[in-house]
Structure 1
Amino acid sequence: MAAYGYARVSTTDQDVSLQVERLKAAGCEVVRAEQVTGTKRDGRSELETVLAFLRAGDELVVTKVDRLARSIGDLQQIVQELRQKGVTLKALDQPIDTGTAAGKAFLDMLGVFAEFETNLRKERQMEGITKAKAEGRYKGRKPSVPVDEVRKLKAEGKGVSEIAKALGVGRSSVYRALE
């Protein structure tokens, strides 16, 4: 049996080195680390690498379960993949052992709380944006197309598809510019 570590931080201004050191101290022969959001699984190449590498009898080690997944769906999918391969999951800061019923239940509860925390963060962000809009401080992102150019082409009698092709943008961008 071999232990392999996975470390993750959400943004490039965060440091993953503390997690890597702890995983190595816990006996992980190989540690894969990345700086990418955990709210979705897409784009997490180091996670995919370690999952592909694991074999029956191996152990995947993380410092906390939220380093592995932020949504209960992703967490359950990853744990299911590990289970199918005969791989166990261990979290250094939480009593997780996927080989026991209690450990599985605890893991599921932590996943629910991680997803709850993510949803709370999104709600707070939306409240802040709503307040900033009401105060006139939030304008949204800048248009991805030159609005004046779109309107000029439309005034010349060009259709939405023709404008989109001429500017190299999607039709939905043209419709938004014309609103």
Structure 2
Amino acid sequence: MATFLYARVSTSEQTLGHQQTQAENAGFQFDHVVADHGVSGVSVLMKDRPEGKRLFDMLRAGDTLVVRWVDRLGRNYADVTDTIREFMRRGVVIRTVINNMTFDGSTSDAMQMAVRDAMISFMAASAQAQAEATKEAQKAGIASAKVRHDETYKGRKPSFSRASYEMVMNLLSKQTSVSEIAQVARLSRQTVYRIKENPAAAEKALVVWSL
């Protein structure tokens, strides 16, 4: 009977060492360390990872598999639950460093099996939900960065359209007051003043923003 540590990080910039250190600090000792580096837990199934596939080949009945948490096995609900159940059917015990959870297939009590399977499902669902939340946060961050980039290189987006700009310029040529222009064009007086004081800059802003 052997004890395995399985570690995984999803990007090549991340390191694996802290997962082994954390497990060792929790009192675990290993006969084998198997690790996938730079492999997504969302899009790449456990059996399709280079080291994940090797782990399937190595594990035998009576072995113990240690992971930092179930999200190291994957962040896909179906994949994680299938993987854990497959290992349990083989007689492998799965233990987590975080929360010190233990999953095995030795029990034949229906209630205990129900509780165990419910916990596995909950943890697998949590892993996928966390991945989805992270992805959405990354999308929001990218969108925010793009807006900041546009504002840095384009300047702030004009609060007036091409039509309102031309209306302002036409009314200014007729000596119409700023207050009256603002009311007619539905712009703030400050905006009208900016156009009046620097029409070239206003025209440039419209061109840069393709308005």
- The alignment's TM-score, normalised by the length of structure 1, stands at 0.66
| Corresponding residue number in structure 2 for 1:109 | 122
**What percentage of aligned pairs have identical amino acids?**
31
| Corresponding residue number in structure 2 for 1:34 | 36
Q: Deviation at 1:16? A: 0.6
Matched residue type, 1:94? N
Q: Is the 8 A contact 1:8 1:68 kept in 2?
A: yes
Q: Deviation at 1:135? A: 7.0
In 1: Cα distance, 2:100 partner to 2:23 partner: 15
Q: Deviation at 1:77? A: 1.4
Q: Which runs of 5+ in 1 are unaligned?
A: 138-179
Q: Deviation at 1:121? A: 1.8
Q: Deviation at 1:14? A: 1.3
Q: Is the 8 A contact 2:81 2:120 kept in 1?
A: no
Q: Is the 8 A contact 1:2 1:59 kept in 2?
A: yes
Q: Deviation at 1:132? A: 5.7
In 2: Cα distance, 1:93 partner to 1:130 partner: 34
Q: Deviation at 1:87? A: 1.1
Alignment of 1:39-58 (within 5 A): 39-42=42-45, 43-58=48-63
In 2: Cα distance, 1:71 partner to 1:91 partner: 17
Q: Deviation at 1:130? A: 4.7
| Corresponding residue number in structure 2 for 1:16 | 16
Map Cα deviations across residues 15-56 of structure 1 (whole Å, 9 max, x no partner). 111212344551210011121221133452111111211011
In 2: Cα distance, 1:112 partner to 1:53 partner: 27
Q: Is the 8 A contact 1:3 1:61 kept in 2?
A: yes
Q: Is the 8 A contact 1:64 1:91 kept in 2?
A: yes
| Corresponding residue number in structure 2 for 1:60 | 65
Distance change >3 Å, CA 19–CA 132, structure 1 → 2: closer
Q: Deviation at 1:13? A: 1.5
In 2: Cα distance, 1:131 partner to 1:93 partner: 34
Number of matched pairs: 137
- The alignment's TM-score, normalised by the length of structure 2, stands at 0.57
Alignment of 1:120-139 (within 5 A): 120-130=133-143, 137=150
SS in 1 for 2:30: coil
- Larger radius of gyration, structure 1 or 2? 2
Q: Deviation at 1:129? A: 4.5
SS in 2 for 1:40: coil
- Higher alpha-carbon deviation: 6-15 or 41-50: 41-50
- Higher alpha-carbon deviation: 36-45 or 72-81: 36-45
In 2: Cα distance, 1:135 partner to 1:23 partner: 41
| Corresponding residue number in structure 2 for 1:177 | none
Q: Deviation at 1:81? A: 1.5
More helix by share: 2
Matched residue type, 1:27? Q
